[in-house]
Amino acid sequence: MKTALLFAGQGAQYIGMGKDLAVLFEDARCLFSRCNEILNYDLTSICFEGPDDVLTKTENAQPAIFAVSWVAFELLKKNLPNLKFDATAGLSLGEITALTAAGVMKFEDGLTLVHKRGKYMQEACDRTIGAMVAVIGSDLSMVKQVCAECNVDIANLNCPGQIVISGEKEKIKKASDLLKARGIKRVLPLQVAGAYHSRLMESARPLLNKTINEIKLSDPVVPVISNVTALPYSDKNDVCKLLVEQLTSTVRWEDCVRYLLSQGFTRFIELGPGTVLSGFLKRIDNTATILNIGDVPSLEKTISELKK
């Protein structure tokens, strides 16, 4: 059975995430403390206690999700040291977690990169007035046509029947109205700071490029699937190009999963808070084995399943 590890993206965060893991496992407590030291502020208390408006800030949410995902990854390895995983993938910021798990960069560098990425994206949000909406139940061709008419971008292709569009707030409103006028009943505004994965993130690209070029990178030890291409990274030289491009490109998550399925992957383990990726996967292929680790109950259930 070929196993892929999937890492959570922004929007999965919630107050209290990771807390029960830290209470029960010393390794988790040590990792959270290490995150605080690396970032030089108390990320752990933001994860565990909030408040919500602080946790949801992009510069905090992204490293917080990375931290909880990494704790889940380390606990999986400790409990099942012989478990072999054959590929990794992650949604948006989760792609950096996936690269780190595949040995492309050190944990410390991955955490710092995610924090700086979140900061650059927050700054881009502050410079613009952006919005995002989820379009439920439309075909891609209609969404593409409306995006072209309204001059906005497709941010995410998550799973069948779920597309996210992103752009200037007024233009997104116009696009939403057009979609509804053309028969799409569910066009849902997302509670986000700005227009992620759109041209409005352009100002973050040179900053992220500089930051990545300061990190020592290695070739991945297992395939890592890129959000931009929905194909594996060729080597470490792809990393800067694709992560920078990802800021303003469509996250092709459904295509990433379909690529893994086409390569014979039948077991997927979602690592990090929530089960958003598991939900997407069920809509893409409900025959796949889907497990997740984000808290103590899900850890215990997944370890039990994998030991069978």
Please list, in sequence order, all residues whose beta carbon lies within 8 angstroms of the beta carbon of residue 270, skipping any fewer than 6 positions away: 6, 7, 8, 277, 278, 281, 290, 291, 292, 293, 294
Chain center to CA of 237: 21
CATH says 129-189 is which class? alpha beta
In this predicted structure, the answer to whether residue 191 has a pLDDT above a threshold of 90 is no
What is the fold of 2-126+199-306? Malonyl-Coenzyme A Acyl Carrier Protein; domain 2 (3.40.366)
- Residue 238: CB atoms within 10 A of its CB come to 21
pLDDT for residue 259: 98
User: Which residues of the chain does CATH 3.40.366.10 include?
Assistant: 2-126+199-306
User: Which residues of the chain does CATH 3.30.70.250 include?
Assistant: 129-189
pLDDT in tens, 58-90: 999 999 999 999 999 999 999 999 999 999 999
In this predicted structure, the answer to whether residue 308 has a pLDDT above a threshold of 90 is no
| Active-site residue set | 92, 197
pLDDT for residue 199: 98
pLDDT in tens, 37-61: 999 999 999 999 999 999 999 999 9
Q: Which residues of 178-210 are buried (b: 16+ CB within 10 A; e: fewer)?
A: bbeeeebeebeebebbbbbbbbbbebbbebbee
Chain center to CA of 274: 12
In this predicted structure, the answer to whether residue 188 has a pLDDT above a threshold of 90 is yes
pLDDT for residue 275: 97
Confidence of residue 221 (pLDDT cuts 50, 70, 90): very high
Give pTM, 2 decimals.
Answer: 0.97
Task: Please choose, from the candidates 119, 111, 117, 21, the residue with its C-alpha nearest in 3D space to the C-alpha of residue 74.
Answer: 21
